[in-house]
Each structure stands twice: as structure tokens, then as C-alpha cells.
Structure 1
Amino acid sequence: MNPLDIARWQFGITTVYHFLFVPLTIGLSALVAGLQTAWVRTGKPHYLRATKFWGKLFMINFAMGIVTGIVQEFQFGMNWSAYSRFVGDIFGAPLAIEGLLAFFVESTFLGLWIFGWHRLPKRIHLACIWIVSVGTLLSAYFILAANSWMQHPVGYHLDTATGRARLTDFWAVLTNSTMLVTFPHTITAAFVTAGLFVVGVSAWHLARGRHVEVFRPSLRMALVVTFVAALGVAITGDLQGKVMTEQQPMKMAAAEALYTTERPASFSIFTVGTLNGGREIFSVKVPGVLSFLATGHFDGKVLGIDDVQAAEQAKYGAGEYRPIIPIAYWNFRIMAGIGFLTAGIALLGLWLTRRGRLPANRWVWRAGVVSLTLPFIGNSAGWIFTEMGRQPWSVYGVLKTSASVSPGVGATSMFVSLLSLTVLYGVLLVIETRLLAKYAKAGPPTEEEALGGDDSAEPSFTFAY
């Protein structure tokens, strides 16, 4: 393997791993804030118990997200120095704002929330967790603004003297058309992730008849959030598909493995192709659906891979502009399929738990626990599709990935780095899983513990972690 391949593997592994924590952090912070709001407004102890229980799991995930996210910054300078030099002027602004403003707000007010129990007035303490939640949204916005610029570069000019992209319009970067559909799609997916996380843990306890007064309200809240957010994922995903078709027609064609231009274009539920993804052997298709996803009309025209390849060669010069088709095709289906499945699970769960009911069938609870894993798989598939579907570009139409890798770092150094980080992240995965499982199985505090003035559990847990 050459340095480029190793650098791409390392960035892919570490980023997919980091992105396991980000959506859960975003969604869970808002759910915790919602539960604490319910306690402040009603005074009911079970809402306070739920707040402290889910808040502890949120803190574990938040801490792990910080640890794994730091490595992302190092990689830009270590493996992607040519890329960093090219985009530094563009990325500097949104990433600096994210670090100095959004993340500073998150960490500061999370500290106040952790140590402020029974010390701050109730409503001020409640405001702290809401500010943390808003901070996570701001962090996501600025990071996605930087990523959206890679998908659709705007607000810049190319400095021919230095070979660098220069920022000319920061507002254009923040209001990039790609950004305006990517942000709501990512945030709604984050709420699906947090919703099913709460569903899964609640189902585990309810199957055993434990803490019903805490976990049944948590379950119902999470099911509603999951269903509404899943609808949001579908709507924003549809909008994102139309923008993607306009800006990156190759990605849409690769998502369907559509080699020849069609009007109308069918959407395949399942396709078997050659090993290299170059030819379709068998497929099950729904007429007109791809046309609607791409254009908003069931008889719309969708360009095929071969035609887009020819057009991009004419525009950018000779080369291979097709991503790895099977990866794009299947990750798109995993992402979309899980999105619809989560909506169905939430709707079914709401029906089974209506009017105070709790299912007696243990298979229902087991399915609820297993459903916890679905959004993490879907998020990873969506990220892989988004980034690998853009290949061979690191900045679409401007900078190729092959020109972005560090020229002075050899394959051996990169391989040692890849191996070390993969092992480290494997260890962190074990730690994260065991911590979450330990505190999730322990259940919420008792009413006396939650209402008592002794809040030493929160600070001691934080320092121990």
C-alpha cells in the first residue's frame, strides 16, 4: 500500500469511530435537558431520577467524543499537510469559531451543570444544560460548514501565486446550499440516535420490570423523538439528494450504480453486479423513484456513470472520476433502509405502549435493545457514502485526494501511525462500552439520592473517569 492508501484508511477508521459519539452527544444533551425541564416544571421525582441517570451516560459519551476528536486535528498536519496548506485559509475561520466559541460554551456550562446540582438555583442550573445542548448544535454547524465547503466550494478564489484557496466570503461558506441541507439532516439523525439509545437502555430495564416509573416515561419520550426525527431524516435526505444531484451528479449515479443515463430512472432495492462494480447482473427495481429522489419528478432525467465520467474528463482532464461503486451503492441503501426502519420501530413502539401498556412478550424488549445499534450503523454508512462518493476529490472539482497527502511522510511512518491509532481506538471502544454498560445496568438513583443534598456522585464520577 502506498502512503495515500494508508492515510485514507487511517482517516476513515478514526473518523468513523469519532462519529459514533458525536450524534449521540448532540441528541442526548437535548433529551437530558428536556427531562430536567419536566422535573423543574412538575417537581415529580422520577423526572429528576431520569435526568441524573441519562446525564451520567451523556457525560461518558461527551468525554470519549473529545478524546477521539483531538486525533482528527493531528491528522491534518501529519498525513494531509498539502490539503491543510490548500484549505487552511478557508477552514481556519469555522474551525476556530467552533473551538473557541461553541466548544468553550459546551465545556464551560457542562462543568457548571455537573457541579451545580443543589448549588445553583433550579432554573439557572437548567439553563446550563440547555446552553450545553445549543453549544453542541453550534459545534456541529461550524464543522459541517467546513465539510460542506469540501463538497461544494464557495466564497473563495484560487491564489495562483501560492496555490492556496483564499477566503473571500465567509457568509457564503456559512450559508452554502450544501450546508443548509446537510445540517438539518445530520441533526435529525442525531436525535434518532439518541432516541433509540434511550429506547434500547429503557427496554433492557423494562424487560426485567425494573424502575418502571423512570424508564416508561423515558421510553415514551424517546419513541416520540425517534419517530419525529426519522421523518425529519427522510425529508432532509430527500432535499439533500436533489442538491447532491445538481452539485455532484457522479455521487447520485454511483448511489444507484446507474451506468447509462435514464429518463425516468428506477431505484433498485437490491442489485447484484460484477465484483468490480462495472456491470449489473440482477436487480429488483421500483420505476421512477430514483428520478424523484434526484429531480423531484418521477419522469426526471438522471445522468449515468459513463456520461458523467466523460463530462468530467472533458472538464478536468484525463483520469478516473468514478468512486468505488459497490461501496457507494450499498452504503446508500444501508443508510436509507435504516432510516425507514427506525421510523417503523418508533411507530410500533408507540402503539405497543399506548394508554399505559407495557408489552408482555420478551421478544419486543429484545428487539428494542437491539434497535439501539441501528442508528450507529446508519450514521457510519451515511458518512462513508458522503465522503467516498466524492472521490477522487478531497475538495470537489478543485483539489484531488492524491494531491492532498503529505509529501514528506513515508508509508512506514503512516502504517505505524495507522496501527497504533487503530489499537488505541480499539482499547477506547472497550472502555466506552464497559463504562456505558456498567452505569446503564446500575439504573437511576433512588428518589432519596436524587433529591438529597449530597451530589458527590457527579464530581467523583467525573474525576474518576
Structure 2
Amino acid sequence: MNTEILSRIQFAFTVAFHYIYPPLSIGLGVVMIIMEGMYLRTGQKIYEQMTRFWIKIFALIFGIGVATGIVMEFEFGTNWAVYSRYVGDIFGSALAAEGIFAFALESGFLGILIFGWNRVSPRVHFFSTIMVALGSMFSAIWIVVANSWQQTPAGFRIEGQGMKARAVITDFWAMVFNPSSVDRLSHVIIGSFLAGSFLVLSVNAYYLLRNRHVAIAKSGFKIALVVATVASLLQLFTGHRSADGVAKNQPAKLAAFEGHYDSSAVADMYLLGWTDAQAQKVSGLKIPGGLSFLIHQDLKAPVTGLNAFPTDQRPSARAVNFVFQTYHLMVAIGMALIGLSLLGMFLWWRGRLFDQKWLLQIFAWAVLLPQIANQVGWYSAEVGRQPWVVYGLLRTSDALSQSLRTEQVLFSLILFTLVYSLLFALFLYLLNKKIKHGPDDLHEEVIPDYSKRDNPILN
């Protein structure tokens, strides 16, 4: 493998590993807000007990996420120097905004969130929970804005020529609200809600299967199930909006998603299949005209295919099948999460939610599904825009550091793999230890009872 391929693999590996944690932080933050809000509203100590437990999990996830995110910024300089110069003005603004609006907010209230129990009033602690959760979302906002600008550049001009060219902001808000940022941000945030809620569902299903912490597990499971159901249905909407945006702004990527080669023809929608790049066809289960209908609301409307683009301005033949598989896996998991969430809600309504051991076992393992969907969705978005690192402006092959050598990248990739493997093993060990320990018992005299009101939904 050459320097470019190894550098792309290295960056993909470090980003993919980091991307395990921010979605969990964002989703778990929302669930914690609901749990602590229920405690303030009802005064029932069970909600404080579960909130305290999940704050410990959140702190672990947050810490690993921060540590793994720092590495990528160094890679911009070491492996992608031309890219860093080209997008420095754009990324510098977005990352500065992230530091001001996200990290400052999170760091300012994280100490209160973790150590503030019985030191500040319950309402102040609840406010800190909200602020930390919002900080996690603000961080995602600015990262997605920067990445979306690469997909659909706006609000800039190019200064310099050749290797000295760089993009300079001319309209900050046009850069922020570039054509894909809102749709992509909503898709990412909802995916994070799914990741966090299914983590809570998984752990509580584990407790119920082992008959431990039953009262807390049932209440926590119901809270997370409501979040998961709403998020899974919203994800269907945001995914459709995002696909419409790709059809308008990156038609070559959309064509790769469905393996659609004909320059202008009716496009089918595949449920599953395999792309043959040599024969330029897809074998699999399909809905005839389905893609045409989703984009144009017309089963007979033509859709721009890969052959409408020069071969050097579209994903490679090898990349098309990869993008096809990752995209369809993301969609399949999204539909599975909708079905699983709605089934849980139906059984809850029938009063049989916790009687189905087989369903609890599925929920215990379903924590993996949103993570897989988030990862393969990112693969689809990034590989699908190749050969561009800034769509239509800067090629990935031109963005590399000129002095970089293949053996340097290979050595650092091996080193990253070893270190990250150890870090992941440590994370799993600590997470497993906290889950097995479970929520701590609380003393009656330390916890004020704010209200005797009951919550009919969660009882």
C-alpha cells in the first residue's frame, strides 16, 4: 500500500475509534436529564439513584472520548499538511467555536455534575447536567459543520494557487449553514440519542435478566425506551432528508449508495445486494423505481448515475461496492431499531414488557446496533465523496504532506493500533466493573424528598 492509502486507513482508524464515545456522551446526557428531571419532579429516590449511576458511566465515556479526539488534530499536521493549509481558515473557526461554546461549557459544569451531589442544591446540579449535555451537543455541532463544509463548501473564496491555495471565509454564517450541515447534524444528533438510549436499555435489560436492581432497571428501561422510540422514528425522517441533500449536492455519491451506473435512467432501490463493478450492475433484492420515487416522488423519473461522471471524479470501482454495503447496512439497522423500539412500546402498553426474556436478551445485545450504524454511516459519507477531500475542489491525493514517507505512516499505524487496543480493553474493563457493581444504595437522611407526586407513566 502507498502513502495515501495508509494515511487514509490511519485517519479512518483513529476517527472510528474516537467516534465510539461522543455519540454515547450525547445520548446518555439526554437520558440523564430526563432521569434527574424525574427526580426533581417526583422526589422519588430511585431516580436520583439511577442518575448517580449513569453519571459515573458518562464520566468514563467522556474521559476516553476527549483523550482519543486529541490525536486527530495532530494527524492533520503530520499526514495532511496540504489539506490543513487549504481548510485552515474554515476549520480554525469551527474548532475555535467548539472550544469556546463546547469545551468551556462542559469543563465548567463537569465538576459539579460529578462531585456536586450534596454540595450544591438539586436545581443547580440539574442545571449542570443540562449544561454538560448541551456542551456535548455543541461539540458535535461544530465538528459536523466543519465536515459538512468539506461535503458542500459555501461562504468562501480561494486565495493562492497550486500547493499554496487555501480557502478563506467570506461569509461565516454561509459556511456554518452550508447546504448539507443542518441535515447532517440532525442525522448525527439523533443517531447519538439512539446510541445513548440503547446503552441504557442494554444495561437495564442485563440487570432484569439477572434479577438485580429490578426497580431501578424497570424505571430506567422505560425512560430509555421512550427516548429510543422517538429517536428511531425521527432518524427515518432525518435520513430521508439527508439522502435528498446528497441527491442534490453529491449525485455521484448517491449513485454509489445504490450502485446506479446508467447516466440517466430509472433507479431501483435495493434492500440488499452485491455490486459488480465490471459488469456495472447490482444483483439483489430490489424495489423497482424505488430510488426514483424517494427522490422525485415518481417511479419513472430518471436519476443521474455514475457513468454521467468522469472516472476520475467519482468513487473507484472498488469503493462503490464498499459504499453500497455500508449504506445498506446502516439503513437495515435503522429499520431494525424502529421495529425493536415499537415492539417494546407495544408490549409495555400490553403490560408484558418485562415478561419476555427473549426480548430482554435482544435488548442486552442491541447496544451494538447504533454503534455499527453510526460507523458504517460515516464510512458511506466519507468514502462516497472520493476522490475529493473537499468536494469538487481538493483531491485526497493532493492533500497529503509532501515529505511523508510510507514507512513512517505504517509504523505510526501499528503503534496507534496497539495503544488504542489497550485503551479499548481498559475502557471495557472499567465499564464492565461499573455495570457489575451497579447503582449504589442511598441513605435516607442524605436525600431530601421534594415531592410526593407520582409519575403514572413510569410506574
TM-score (normalizing by structure 2): 0.93
1:243: which partner in 2?
245
2:456: which partner in 1?
none
- 8 Å CA contact retained: 1:3, 1:414: yes
Residue 169 of structure 2, aligned match among 148, 167, 170? 167
1:288: which partner in 2?
289
Q: Aligned in 2, Cα 1:158/1:281: closer, same or farther, shift over 3 Å?
A: closer
- 8 Å CA contact retained: 1:14, 1:72: yes
- 8 Å CA contact retained: 1:390, 1:396: yes
Residue 270 of structure 2 aligns to a residue whose secondary structure is strand
Q: Aligned in 2, Cα 1:108/1:272: closer, same or farther, shift over 3 Å?
A: same
2:314: which partner in 1?
321
- 8 Å CA contact retained: 2:259, 2:282: no
Residue 271 of structure 1 aligns to a residue whose secondary structure is strand
CA-to-partner distance for each residue in 1:207-253, whole Å, 9 max, x for gaps?
A: 11211211111111111111110111110110111110111111000
Tell me how far 1:330 sits from its aligned partner.
Answer: 0.5
Residue 302 of structure 1 aligns to a residue whose secondary structure is strand
Tell me how far 1:264 sits from its aligned partner.
Answer: 3.3
2:156: which partner in 1?
156
Find the aligned partners of 1:177 and 1:281 in 2 and give their Cα distance. 30
Aligned positions of 1:309-388 closer than 5 A:
309-310=309-310, 319=312, 321-323=314-316, 324-354=319-349, 356-388=351-383
Q: Residue 402 in 1 paired to residue 403 in 2? A: no
Find the aligned partners of 1:452 and 1:74 in 2 and give their Cα distance. 46
Q: Aligned in 2, Cα 1:273/1:408: closer, same or farther, shift over 3 Å?
A: same
Query: Structure 2, unaligned stretches of length 5 or more?
Result: 449-459
Q: Aligned in 2, Cα 1:293/1:88: closer, same or farther, shift over 3 Å?
A: same
Q: Aligned in 2, Cα 1:262/1:287: closer, same or farther, shift over 3 Å?
A: farther
Find the aligned partners of 1:355 and 1:344 in 2 and give their Cα distance. 16
Q: Which amino acid aligns with 2:62?
A: F
Residue 447 of structure 1 aligns to a residue whose secondary structure is coil
Residue 354 of structure 2 aligns to a residue whose secondary structure is coil
Q: Aligned in 2, Cα 1:328/1:278: closer, same or farther, shift over 3 Å?
A: farther
Q: Which amino acid aligns with 2:272?
A: F
User: What is the count of residue pairs matched by the alignment?
Assistant: 444
Q: Which amino acid aligns with 1:327?
A: F
Q: Aligned in 2, Cα 1:229/1:281: closer, same or farther, shift over 3 Å?
A: closer
Tell me how far 1:298 sits from its aligned partner.
Answer: 3.5
Find the aligned partners of 1:188 and 1:182 in 2 and give their Cα distance. 10
1:431: which partner in 2?
426
Identity of aligned pairs, percent?
36
Q: Which amino acid aligns with 2:379?
A: I
Q: Aligned in 2, Cα 1:444/1:7: closer, same or farther, shift over 3 Å?
A: same
2:193: which partner in 1?
191
Q: Aligned in 2, Cα 1:382/1:359: closer, same or farther, shift over 3 Å?
A: same
1:219: which partner in 2?
221
Find the aligned partners of 2:193 and 2:279 in 1 and give their Cα distance. 37
Q: Aligned in 2, Cα 1:135/1:297: closer, same or farther, shift over 3 Å?
A: farther
Residue 389 of structure 2 aligns to a residue whose secondary structure is strand
Q: Residue 178 in 1 paired to residue 180 in 2? A: yes
Find the aligned partners of 1:277 and 1:46 in 2 and give their Cα distance. 61
Q: Aligned in 2, Cα 1:449/1:327: closer, same or farther, shift over 3 Å?
A: farther
- 8 Å CA contact retained: 1:52, 1:450: no
Q: Which amino acid aligns with 2:375?
A: S
Find the aligned partners of 1:38 and 1:281 in 2 and give their Cα distance. 51
Q: Aligned in 2, Cα 1:357/1:80: closer, same or farther, shift over 3 Å?
A: same
Tell me how far 1:114 sits from its aligned partner.
Answer: 1.2
CA-to-partner distance for each residue in 1:353-382, whole Å, 9 max, x for gaps?
A: 336544334322211111111000000000
- 8 Å CA contact retained: 1:45, 1:451: no
TM-score (normalizing by structure 1): 0.92
Find the aligned partners of 1:448 and 1:298 in 2 and give their Cα distance. 64
Q: Which amino acid aligns with 1:304?
A: G
1:18: which partner in 2?
18
Find the aligned partners of 1:3 and 1:71 in 2 and give their Cα distance. 19
CA-to-partner distance for each residue in 1:177-228, whole Å, 9 max, x for gaps?
A: 2001011111111111111111111100011121121111111111111111
Q: Which amino acid aligns with 1:200?
A: S
Find the aligned partners of 1:417 and 1:277 in 2 and give their Cα distance. 35
CA-to-partner distance for each residue in 1:16-54, whole Å, 9 max, x for gaps?
A: 111111111111011112111111121101001110111
Residue 51 of structure 1 aligns to a residue whose secondary structure is helix
- 8 Å CA contact retained: 2:34, 2:223: no
Residue 302 of structure 2 aligns to a residue whose secondary structure is coil
Find the aligned partners of 2:298 and 2:115 in 1 and give their Cα distance. 54
2:40: which partner in 1?
40
Note the aligned Cα RMSD (angstroms).
1.7
- 8 Å CA contact retained: 1:90, 1:165: yes
- 8 Å CA contact retained: 1:26, 1:187: yes
Q: Aligned in 2, Cα 1:281/1:232: closer, same or farther, shift over 3 Å?
A: closer
- 8 Å CA contact retained: 1:153, 1:395: yes
Q: Aligned in 2, Cα 1:395/1:447: closer, same or farther, shift over 3 Å?
A: same
Find the aligned partners of 1:399 and 1:320 in 2 and give their Cα distance. 11
- 8 Å CA contact retained: 1:7, 1:79: yes
2:437: which partner in 1?
442
1:116: which partner in 2?
116
2:453: which partner in 1?
none
Residue 107 of structure 1 aligns to a residue whose secondary structure is helix
1:85: which partner in 2?
85
1:140: which partner in 2?
140
Residue 314 of structure 2 aligns to a residue whose secondary structure is coil
1:418: which partner in 2?
413
Q: Aligned in 2, Cα 1:372/1:254: closer, same or farther, shift over 3 Å?
A: same
